[in-house]
Structure 1
Amino acid sequence: MGQSRELSPYRWVIEGLLILALLSQTLVWLAPAAILPPIAKDLGISLKSGGLIISVIALFIALFSFGGALIVENIGVLRTMLFGVWLMAVGAVLSGYVAGFGALLGCRVVEGLGFGLMIAPTGALVVEWFGEKEWPYINTVNYACSYAGIAVAFGLTTSLYSRLQSWHSAMLVYGGAVAIVALAWTVFGRESSRVGADDELSTDAPPAEAGGAPLGEVFGMRPVILVALAFSFAMWVFQLYTAFMPSFFVAYRGMTLEEAGRVTSILPIAGIFGAFGGGMLTTITGLRKPFLWPVMTLMLLGCVGSVLSPNAALLSISLVAFGVGASAHLGAMATLVMELPDMTPARVGAALALVFGMGYAFAFLSPVVGGALADRFGLEAVLLGTLVLQPVAIVSFLMVPETGPGRVASAPAIAPGA
């Protein structure tokens, strides 16, 4: 399917750096959700404003994921990645020192800016350094590590807060860790010279026209738009649940904050296994779609159970289903985008920037809208009501073409931009 290209052993150093970066992203994003009640109490803010602490980072991830795609075109993949990881580190460190709500939001904006700038370079670095047969495996590991960051955020943050007796100190610990990751990227990060930003990655279709802006080109690709819609509505549901689930368990199930954090950590731990399992199965079968819409359905069932389960056993099963459903599609989704006709590293970066940019825009709106509605109608009603959006993700993934090598040989070829 793709061109034969010599692979450098240094790609594994790059993969190690990508793993650290992806762990850092989700950790700094969702760590405040695990200790949101004491943060809100200390700052004297409502649940709606507390949701903004979580969601504002998603807004700037959305805005600057597009910015990252444009910057890559001008200064290159590695420099854009360095700008992003250092901005995220600076915002995370400063959040450990600020005293007011507005200042904390400012730090979260800086974190979101850095997070967003890192999205396009991450995809571009994968297609630059690795062969096409390695993409499903690399995407699997990378997205599993994103869920590992979420697991740390929910599993460790409450214990860290209890030990340090200060949410500022807990945030500062994480900020220092991200700064170390940024330093590692500065010292060891490299850009591959074996494939240019405009080199074709797929030979299943005629070469694309030269000279177009990658971000503009991917807006005309129907499969990319469908993937973006599916991911966006799934992110709305995922962000609302992860932002408020610990608060829900405290308010409606009578758990302590630490108990709620431990229970909620089941979700991302299951997500790690879901990402690995889904990624391995999509690689073994050579198919992508069986790991898209069916797992979105599993996520829907898990969400319902996580709110309505009458006992601890069913709650645990539901959280596992939620975690697996929310993660098992990620490797297949990213690989499907990379396998579309006429894709280059620059177009892959732009396409993933569009997908994740839309997704994080929805993730920004979700806790803000959900928090406002929860203040009026109750958190349980809002968590259940938002699930009417999940079928949009299911249907959108149903409509994308199969791109994997395991698709039926007689199936029609995917037309460019179809």
Structure 2
Amino acid sequence: MTSDFSIELPQPDDKYKWYILAISLVTGTFVSAIPFSCMPVLFKEISEDLGLDLVQIGTIWGVASLAGIFISIGAGLLSDRFGVKNILSIFCILVGITGALRGLSNSFFVLAFTVFLNGIVRLIIPITVTKTIGLWFRGKNLGMAMGVGAVGMGLGLMLGPMISATVMSPALGGWRNVMYFYGGLSAAVGILWIAFGREPSQTSSTTTSGTVPLRQALSKLIRLKSLWFLGLTLLFRVGCLMGMTGYLPLYLRDQRGWEIAAADGTLAAFYAISTVCVVPLSILSDKIGSRKLILYIALIVGLVCVSLIPIVEDGMIWVLILLAGVFMDGFMSLTTTILLETEGVGVKYSGTALGIVFTIVHIGSVSSPPLGNSLERIGQQAPFFFWASLSIAALVMLAFVRETGWRRTIRTASA
């Protein structure tokens, strides 16, 4: 009886993993992405209400990621120790509460504090969702599953700019009520995890009780050079996109004279095409057996597009935004896949490894927006050139990252 039960046990998990993937997608949309991506298009209304200047806006946009520098490693350890269901259930609700608190802000400092507070709990979500997908999907399906998970983020990143300023704020009576509404959605997703979340039975014992001590995990992972270079690649890549996306709607409205809907629509289009392309790029990566080839193309395209935005005519800006957006979520999906496939990481150290990489990444997320915004004093083109230069640095770092696609495995085996 015992042996029969143990043989049949993985079968329900094999079906239930698709439900988990669906909940993970919803989590990315309504917890990780929309409450975050709504901010750039609401900055105009917020700045008029609170009297913020451009550098303060850049600081607010950056401080949203500041908490990640301090809590990313802890986020990985939490999911390793207490299980992904418990962490996602609790922290989705906390994201809702702290996200709603942003609506109570009456000054720059209060807004900065509430955005930082929201970041502390919100930034735990992507790491835990990534680990969840890594636990439920292995081998040839991992790249595809990561792509589907990234679709959730992409949908939220698209919907936030698309509806927050032009639909939600007028309908709800201002940006403060938008914060309250999105907070309620995040909390509802937490209830969804309480009701339907589950740990994979074949690994639940190791993820909840057999955890590796922090010192042991760190001592092993900090010696993996590829992990550090991957983190630095993402630092510069995310720094480029965070700065550009936070500044672009304001630039198009104030410097180019675009209407609000059109300016906000560029971000919506950027994230929309990213959402459409993320799964095909992940499948293509699995098919050709290379992760890095697609990452190289993404960085080169991003470098060219961001450099040209302040130079070209208005109509060409749409083309550049769409080209850059093709690879946005796909880049994150493939770099995360590389991390989980890196020799020496695996499921055992995945939470801590993700925490280390995201800690590095958030340094770029925090510093890039205010640094780039401050360069507007030199000229309107300067912020874009600064953010484009970060793509060059990312290309250099990527060269030192070890390929994990199946073509490298074949070459290694035949060598």
Instruction: Give yes or no for TM over 0.5.
Output: yes
Q: Tell me by how many angstroms 1:343 deviates.
A: 2.9
Q: Give, in whole Å, the separation in 1 of the partners of 2:61 and 2:393.
A: 24
User: Hey, what does 2:3 align to over in structure 1?
Assistant: none
Asked if residue 247 in structure 1 is aligned to residue 250 in structure 2, the reply is yes
Give 1:361 shift: 2.1
The CA deviation at 1:379 is: 4.0
- Aligned-pair CA distance for 1:237: 0.7
Could you list the per-position Cα deviations for residues 80-131 of structure 1 after superposition, in whole angstroms to 9, with x for gaps in the alignment?
Answer: 3333222211111222333333332222122211122223322321222223
Query: Cα–Cα, structure 1 residues 408 and 350, in superposed 2: closer, same or farther, change >3 Å?
Result: closer
Determine if contact 1:309/1:315 at 8 Å carries over to the other structure: yes
* Mapped partners of 2:77, 2:261: distance in 1: 42
Q: Secondary structure at the match of 1:341?
A: coil
Distance 1:210 1:186, change over 3 A: closer
Shift in Å at residue 8 of structure 1? 3.1
User: C-alpha distance in 1, partners of 2:135/2:85?
Assistant: 11
Alignment of 1:160-171 (within 5 A): 160-171=168-179
Quickly say closer, same or farther: Cα 1:408–1:123, change in 2 above 3 A.
closer
1:55-204 alignment runs, 5 A limit: 55-159=62-166, 160-195=168-203
Number of residues of Structure 1 aligned to a counterpart in Structure 2: 400
RMSD of Structure 2 on Structure 1 (CA): 2.4
Alpha-carbon offset, residue 309 of structure 1? 1.8
Q: Which moved more, 1:387-396 or 1:339-348?
A: 339-348
Equivalence for 2:394 = 393
Whether 2:45 is the aligned partner of 1:38: answer yes
- The structural deviation recorded for 1:359 is 1.2
> Would the alpha carbon gap of residues 150 and 120 (structure 1) be closer, same or farther in structure 2, given more than 3 Å must change?
closer
Structure 2 stretches lacking a partner, 5+ long: 1-9
Q: Identical aligned pairs, as a percentage? A: 20
Distance 1:315 1:372 in 2: 22
Q: Aligned in 2, Cα 1:282/1:377: closer, same or farther, shift over 3 Å?
A: same
Question: Residue in 2 aligned with 1:21?
Answer: 27
Map of 2:286 onto structure 1: 283
Question: Are residue 381 (structure 1) and residue 388 (structure 2) matched?
Answer: no
8 Å contact 1:35–1:157 — kept in the other structure? yes
Residue 236 of structure 1 corresponds to 239
Residue 404 of structure 2 corresponds to 403
Give the counterpart letter for 2:179 in structure 1. M
C-alpha deviation, 1:169, in angstroms: 1.5
Q: 2: CA distance between counterparts of 1:41 and 1:68?
A: 35
Q: Which runs of 4+ in 1 moved over 4 A?
A: 4-7, 196-199, 209-212
More deviation, 264-273/78-87: 78-87
| 3-state DSSP of counterpart to 1:35 | helix
The more displaced of 291-300 and 321-330 is 321-330
Question: Are 2:369 and 1:367 equivalent residues in the alignment?
Answer: yes
Q: Matched residues in 1 for 2:218 and 2:72: separation?
A: 11
Opposite residue 192 of structure 2, the aligned amino acid is: A
Q: What residue is the counterpart of 1:202 in the other structure?
A: none
Q: Are the aligned partners of 2:77 and 2:214 in contact in 1 as well (CA < 8 Å)?
A: no
**Does structure 1 residue 337 correspond to structure 2 residue 339?**
yes
Shift of 1:212: 5.7
**Structure 1 position 46, deviation (Å):** 1.0
Q: Once the 2 structures are TM-superposed, how far is the Cα of residue 319 of structure 1 from its aligned partner? A: 0.4
Between the aligned partners of 2:136 and 2:123, the Cα distance in structure 1 is: 21
For residues 119-175 of structure 1, the C-alpha deviation after alignment (integer angstroms, 9 at most, x for no partner) is 332232122222322211110111122121111111111212233441112222211
Q: Are the structure 2 counterparts of residues 95 and 408 from structure 1 closer, same or farther at C-alpha, using a change threshold of 3 Å?
A: closer
Cα 1:197/1:310, change in 2 over 3 Å = farther
Give the TM-score taking structure 1 as reference length.
0.89
